[in-house]
Structure 1
Amino acid sequence: MPRFTLDWDLFIPSNDAANFSKINKVLADELDIDLVPFDVKTGEGFVQTFQTEQGIIQFHQVVLGLPKFDVVEARAVTHDYKGVPVRYLCLDDLLSSKLAVARDKDSDDILFVKIKKQTIEKQA
């Protein structure tokens, strides 16, 4: 059984200034500081967390276990959420990121994703 977390994790490209500007404009009333590109030299800001009225949003510019954003985006899957197409990590990338982080709280998620992948592969 998948677990539901209390936040939204968004993987965004770290080199897209126009995207940062759009995010900051849309969330201007929600964010107390701007979302900024992470510092390549120090790694500072590779994950930025914000509390909003809708819940916690985490912007990830680097995700352990995953290649660059463009590669992950090309493999992403799209599902409809209330009439809006939303892109999600493919199962392989989700599993890779969970395995790379290796947090205790992810152990059930890892098992669930492995079983889900096996089920899909059997149906193919």
Structure 2
Amino acid sequence: MAEVFRKCCILIVLLVLAGGMIEMLKVETYCSEGIGLCGKGNECEQRCYTSHGPGSQGSCDYNIKPPLCTCYYDCLAPPPPPKVCNGGGGLCSIACTNQCCSDRCATKFSQGRGYCDNSAGPWLCQCQYPC
């Protein structure tokens, strides 16, 4: 009976340690922003909350003169890059090079840009635009 109890205790300890390791592997990203001089009372904390909302933490560094307020807050994940589509803008020529091609693409596609490319044979105006 004592042996079963001992094995159960070891199993419980291992599960607790594994749970702690999993929690340690979870990476939280915090950002910081200097928000000026520290004020009276909890002014630093209030300015931080106003700028970054719940979960933010204002902290005054009194080791430097004058003391400065730093706001720590959860970083937002950056938005994914916009998807880029490709299209054709006709042929390029000595009279119509990169700038002309880009102008054509801007006219043809919303927020379009273009460049002349001859890697496939003829000198083509290649357009790129967000889709």
> Normalising TM by the smaller chain, what interval?
under 0.3
Give the TM-score normalised by the residue count of structure 1.
0.22
Query: Relative CO higher for 1 or 2, CA cutoff 8 Å, sep ≥ 6?
Result: 1
Give the TM-score normalised by the residue count of structure 2.
0.21
Higher strand proportion, which one? 2
Structure 1 or 2, whichever has the larger Rg, is 2
